[in-house]
Amino acid sequence: MSAGWARISRSGWARLALAAALIAGCAVAVAVAEAQGVGADVSAVRVGGNRSETRIVVDLDRAVSARVSGGGGVGRIVIGLPGVALAASLHGRGLGLVNAWTVAARDGGARLTLELASNSRIRRRFLLPPADGISHYRYVIDIDPAAGVSPPPAATAPVEVADASARPRAHVRKVVVIDAGHGGHDPGAQSGATAEKDLTLAAARALKARLERGGHYRVVMTRAADVYVPLESRVQIARRAGADLFISLHADSAGADPSTHGASVYTVSDHGEERVTQVLGRNEWFNRTGARADPAVGQILLDLTQRSTRNRSAIFAQLMIDRLGDRIDLLPRTHRDAGYFVLLAPDVPAVLLEMGFISSPDDAARLADPVSRGKLMDAVAGAIDAYFTAQSRLAAR
């Protein structure tokens, strides 16, 4: 999900006016409340988004083990933040699917209360540690309309609050999108009679079967047969599915050099992030174009979204490298970055796995053998399990 923020402070009345203009004139808006006082663990609460998706971020000076309680009343979600200190209570008007929010001291900690719009729910929540130039923790909560419910229209009239069913559902399956590289008239790398497109599809099917076995995931494949799917369509399939993770499977070739072998994992590069507009639709809520949009605010929204997504992609990439290294040989400098098109989605953690070199006899034999290929996908699935387990522990331990 996309997120970004225009800061409102006591001295920033010009920015306050900008935020008010955004609220009045657009479906996109951003709000920030700052905590004051020495010793406060909550430094800011930020809300951004629209009626299709809304993100709340609590900036913290320490890690937190948050817990959701459903006893807040109709349309109300209460999240306990044990051990969190407050200098004073915070509250603010909501945006998008959040009608209002409050942070107050409670029982040796703090309590975040969210008043949600009708037929909305918590989709996911997670804790981001300090990283990539950010010195504080961020507790992130993503809100979207409940399944099968269209987003409410952007209107100035009051929005009804939801019933108690809007509380987060622990049994909601994570959405994993598997992208089998190439396909159809695009064979990819070739070595003799072996084509990359066939190996990637076989691996994708094996990974899908492995993930669905436990019932914890909803798996979406960008292609399930030998067909050609444009790169931009693969990205949009993931975004429309609300993907929690995207993995693209490939096999490399070193041409006439059979000695080069081993797997590698790619995440998006700086140059790739600069090309993100190629995958954005005209109506993106952080889109920086249009008569009513403010370029500076749009850039902040997009940059912060990409930073969060890139951090999560890197975490998953390392988990996968750790598990692959127990099964197969890896290339030196295994974690690499590139501007591959399928990695450009700003709001979906994504990796591209080069499973090996089909120009290497050993790698080609491993990828062509169903048993060996299955073991490789077991390692990938293990990394996926570990990634979501870690996310859940950060958010709800």
**Topology of domain 13-166, per CATH?**
Immunoglobulin-like (2.60.40)
CB-based contacts of 130: which residues, under 8 Å, 6+ apart? 136, 137
Beta partners for residue 208, in sequence order: none
Q: Are 238 and 348 spatial neighbours (Cβ–Cβ below 8 Å)?
A: yes
CA distances from 71 to 30, 74, 105, 163, 165 (A): 28, 9, 17, 12, 11
Which residues, in sequence order, are bridge partners of residue 267?
337
8 Å CB contact between 196 and 358: yes
Q: What is the pLDDT along the chain (397 residues), one digit of tens a residue?
A: 333 333 333 333 333 333 333 333 333 444 455 444 334 588 888 888 777 788 888 888 887 778 887 544 457 888 888 888 887 888 887 788 888 899 998 878 889 999 888 778 888 888 777 765 677 888 888 888 875 544 444 332 222 222 322 233 344 689 999 999 999 999 999 988 889 999 999 999 999 999 999 889 999 999 999 999 999 999 999 988 989 999 999 999 998 789 999 999 999 998 888 888 788 876 665 654 444 555 666 677 778 788 888 999 999 999 999 999 988 999 999 999 999 999 998 889 999 999 999 999 999 999 999 999 999 999 999 999 999 988 766 554 4
Contact by Cβ (8 Å): 44, 33 = yes
pTM of the model: 0.60
CA distances from residue 7 to 24, 31, 90, 297 in whole angstroms, order as listed = 17, 7, 15, 10
pLDDT at residue 393, as a whole number: 63
Question: What pLDDT score was predicted for residue 6?
Answer: 31
pLDDT of residue 159: 25
User: What integer pLDDT is reported at residue 87 of this predicted model?
Assistant: 77
Pick the CATH number of 174-396 from 1.10.3720.10, 3.40.630.40, 3.40.50.2300, 3.60.150.10: 3.40.630.40
The torsion angles phi and psi of 246, rounded to 5 degrees, stand at -130, 130
**According to the model, what pLDDT value does residue 189 have?**
93
Token digits of residue 206:
């094996």
Write down the pLDDT at residue 202: 97
Phi, psi (5° rounding) for residue 358? -75, -10
What pLDDT score was predicted for residue 165? 27
The domain spans of the chain are 13-166, 174-396
Q: 205 is written with which tokens?
A: 């099917």
Measured in whole angstroms, the distance separating CA 345 from the mean position of its chain's CA atoms is 9
Number of CB atoms found within 10 A of residue 237's CB: 18
